[in-house]
Structure 1
Amino acid sequence: MTSSNVPHNDDHIHPRRIWIVGVSGAGKTTLARKVAHQLEVAHLELDAVFWKEHWTFRDLDEAHASIRAFQAAHSHGWVMDGNWTSRLNGMLTPGTPGGADVVVWLDHPRLLTMWRVITRTLKRGITQEPLWHGNTERIRGWLSTDPNHNIVLFAWRQHSALRARWEHQARSSPHVVRLRGRAHVSRWLRTLTPPSMHGHDHRREDT
């Protein structure tokens, strides 16, 4: 379901809790930072929640407690980015207590996302740019045939599977906003307004 088909209730006109998903290289974190700035709300990167040092998984109960604490501290609104559906156990599903108002699915072409993943991976590997909790890109993984160790291979295989999953969700849920391409993302961003402007918008519509 595209953003133009989203029902016109307040949660969708002025979403305050937004979960951004998409394949590796889709630009989830970049968009999440822009949305958080535009809506004047807090941002949480789920990779930083579920990973800990040495590329090991954080204890699931501990990770869930961290997310719940973030939600409680920012009940007026938040943006989270990252897929992690197998470990979230439905925590962010719209309609559940504390869940997102909308799920923004970045559905970009595979060639675009792969180009981003490859260039980003090379840059991080060469510079050893620290990611979450001191983790860095594993250069030795570039030649691995195991997608769990080779992010480029993982991203290639992830594209079709993730698209199939979210296409199903978009057909069955009015809370999924599907953005296809950078122009579509830019148009959707322009629909977002901070709380301070909501009253002004309503007055203008009433005139």
Structure 2
Amino acid sequence: MVEVAGSVRRVSVVGSSGSGKSTVARRLAGILGVPYIELDAIHWRPGWVEEEPEVFADRVREVTRADAWVIDGNYQSKVGTLVWEQAELVVWVNPPRWRVMVQVTLRTLRRAARREELWNGNREGWGGLRLWRSSDSVIRWAWDSYAPQIERYEAALVDPRHAPLRFVRLRSRRDVERFLEQLGRSGLRGCG
């Protein structure tokens, strides 16, 4: 794991659906004392309608202009490197596929049963369990996108365009806890 020294004010947290990235991002924002920004909340309009690409990119550009943040989400296919151009650190939450599948399945069941509101009035329904319909199933999406995402982020780790960024790859819950403890002990703060 990469040692994170110095102040960290702008962090991008990425990983597959169900990897635990939102939990890590929220905890990280709390430790650093910076705003938590969820790209899904910007991307999804009411009724599961995707935001217009230009509007989404403009809103992402706007939030990344702030001095400090932890941004949760991928969306490179929609906004390119907008987030990473402003980030100082990328935290890649990358547990094994089996763990992702267990976590995303349990999360989908919980959200459907409790009718939890996610963003802008949107809720995951029981359709998320229809594995044969990839457009409806976050479980199927997590399975299908897992391997390509690993390829994309492994390539990003060695891409010279991202040389100014520091990357941390967290492959287990133990890695997550050690990383967050390290940040907490170091007294790093995003503001001030």
Kindly state the Cα deviation for residue 21 of structure 1 after the two structures are TM-superposed.
0.3
- Superposition TM-score, scaled by structure 2 size: 0.88
Give the structure 2 partner of residue 103 of structure 1.
90
TM-score (norm: length of structure 1): 0.82
Deviations 1:142-198 (CA, angstroms, capped at 9, x unpaired): 225232211111111111111111111113345222111011111111232333999
Q: Which residues in structure 2 correspond to 1:68-79 (within 5 Å)?
A: 68-72=61-65, 74-75=66-67, 77-79=68-70
- 1:194 matched to which residue of 2? 188
Letter aligned with residue 147 of structure 1? S
Report whether the alignment pairs 1:89 with 2:80.
yes
Which residue matches 1:29? Answer: 22
**Do the aligned residues in 1 keep the contact of 2:111 with 2:125 (CA within 8 Å)?**
no
Instruction: Give the deviation of 1:130 after TM superposition.
Output: 0.8
| Separation in structure 1 between the aligned mates of residue 35 and residue 191 of structure 2, nearest angstrom | 18
In structure 2, relative to structure 1, the CA distance for the partners of 1:113 and 1:60 (3 Å cut) is same
2:12 corresponds to 1:13: no
What is residue 184 of structure 1 aligned with on the other side?
175
After TM superposition, where is structure 1 displaced by more than 6 Å over at least 4 residues in a row? Answer: none
Q: Distance in 2 between matches of 1:165 and 1:115?
A: 23
Question: 1:15 & 1:70 partners in 2: Cα distance?
Answer: 17
Q: State the Cα distance separating 1:83 from its structure 2 match.
A: 0.8
1:55 counterpart = 2:48: yes
- 2:116 is matched with which residue: 103, 120, 129? 129
Q: Deviations over 1:109-135 (max 9, x none)?
A: 111111110011011111111110011
Q: Give the conservation status (yes or no) of the 8 Å contact 1:170–1:178.
A: no
**Structure 1, residues 70-90: CA drift from partner, whole Å, max 9, x if none?**
233x31x11001111111121
In the other structure, the counterpart of 2:2 is 3
Larger Rg: 1
Q: CA RMSD in A?
A: 2.1
Q: Is the 8 A contact 2:128 2:139 kept in 1?
A: no
Q: 1:37 to 1:148 in 2, by over 3 A?
A: same
Conserved? CA contact 2:64–2:83, under 8 Å: no
Percent identity (aligned): 32
Residue ranges of structure 1 left out of the alignment (5+ in a row): 7-11, 199-207
Q: Hey, what's the Cα distance between the residues in 1 that align with 2:81 and 2:64?
A: 14
Which of 137, 152, 166 matches 2:153?
Answer: 166
Report how many aligned residue pairs link the two structures: 185
